[in-house]
Amino acid sequence: VFQKWVNREISNFDYLIQLNTMAGRTYNDLAQYPVFPWILRDYTSEELDLNNPAVFRDLSKPIGVVNEKNAKTVKEKYNFEDPLGMIDKFHYGTHYSNAAGVMHYLIRVEPFTTLHIQLQSGRFDCADRQFHSIPAAWQALMDNPNDVKELIPEFFYFPEFLENQNGFNLGQLQMSKEVVNDVVLPKWAHSPEDFIYKHRKALESEYVSAHLHEWIDLIFGYKQRGPAAVEALNVFY
């Protein structure tokens, strides 16, 4: 598989799916759901210019420190000594992929809607914590070193998860009183289908093809644990 990918005989999407499968990740287990990277950082321009390296996320860094400002907090957390010596050191107390995160993204489609409601003791979580906007989700990652969710494969092929086709009442945001309905898209996307098309094109772009191995090292490779993980600020609880 690796050789095929290097020779560009299979797409970045297919390679990531196969890596996830080899790592034991599967759509049948929310706790081991396939994980895909955030690949862009431009969610505000009118047009998405895939020839401009500045629109892409730095794939060599864990999502928690893509914003340089968060690196200090993350290092401090790692250097905090557990007085009882029971807990191994870590940079992040949460994870880049977990069941709650999968339900968070897929709340508008069953069976995830029902699973989310069960998790929240029989009702939807408050609107401000819902996945309501792609630009806002990215901004939250940039502002908050405790939010380290990567993406799921659906962001690259499944426009329906961005639409509230079932008309669920997801509440309204506290500040703006905006009703949470379909997911708010980046300015450069004119519809959920257009978002998926452009996002998939970004995944297969020259920039991502040249840098994807850096992210793979963090998630599936030698920077997962040990000294390389510490150095890369990539140690999870």
What is the tens place of the pLDDT at every residue in 39-80? 999 999 999 999 999 999 999 999 999 999 999 999 988 888
Query: Is 69 inside a domain boundary?
Result: no
Query: What's the burial of 235, exposed, middle or buried (CB within 10 Å: 0-12/13-18/19+)?
Result: buried
Query: Is 100 inside a domain boundary?
Result: yes
Predicted confidence at residue 78, as pLDDT, reads: 87
Instruction: Tell me 124's DSSP state.
Output: P
What is the tens place of the pLDDT at every residue in 78-117? 888 777 777 888 999 889 999 999 999 999 999 999 999 9
Query: Is 105 inside a domain boundary?
Result: yes
Number of domains in the chain: 1
- In 3D, which of 80, 125, 78, 77 has the Cα closest to residue 101? 125
User: What span, in angstroms and rounded, lies between the C-alpha atoms of 75 and 93?
Assistant: 12
Q: Are 12 and 209 in contact (CB under 8 A)?
A: yes
Query: What's the burial of 182, exposed, middle or buried (CB within 10 Å: 0-12/13-18/19+)?
Result: middle
Q: Tell me the Ramachandran region of residue 76: left when phi exceeds 0, alpha when psi lies from -120 to 50, beta otherwise.
A: alpha
Predicted confidence at residue 21, as pLDDT, reads: 97
Query: Is 33 inside a domain boundary?
Result: yes
Query: Is 68 inside a domain boundary?
Result: no
Instruction: Tell me 47's DSSP state.
Output: S
Instruction: Tell me 129's DSSP state.
Output: G
Q: Are 45 and 188 in contact (CB under 8 A)?
A: yes
Predicted confidence at residue 43, as pLDDT, reads: 98
2 vs 168, more confident: 168
Domain that holds residue 190: 1-42+87-232
Query: Is 194 inside a domain boundary?
Result: yes
Query: Is 171 inside a domain boundary?
Result: yes
Predicted confidence at residue 84, as pLDDT, reads: 77
For the domain that residue 96 is a member of, what is the CATH number? 1.10.1540.10
User: What span, in angstroms and rounded, lies between the C-alpha atoms of 144 and 69?
Assistant: 10
Strands (E), the chain: none
Per-residue pLDDT, averaged over 145-154, amounts to 94
What is the tens place of the pLDDT at every residue in 17-39? 999 999 999 999 999 999 999 99
Q: Are 15 and 23 in contact (CB under 8 A)?
A: no
Query: Is 27 inside a domain boundary?
Result: yes
The model's pTM:
0.94
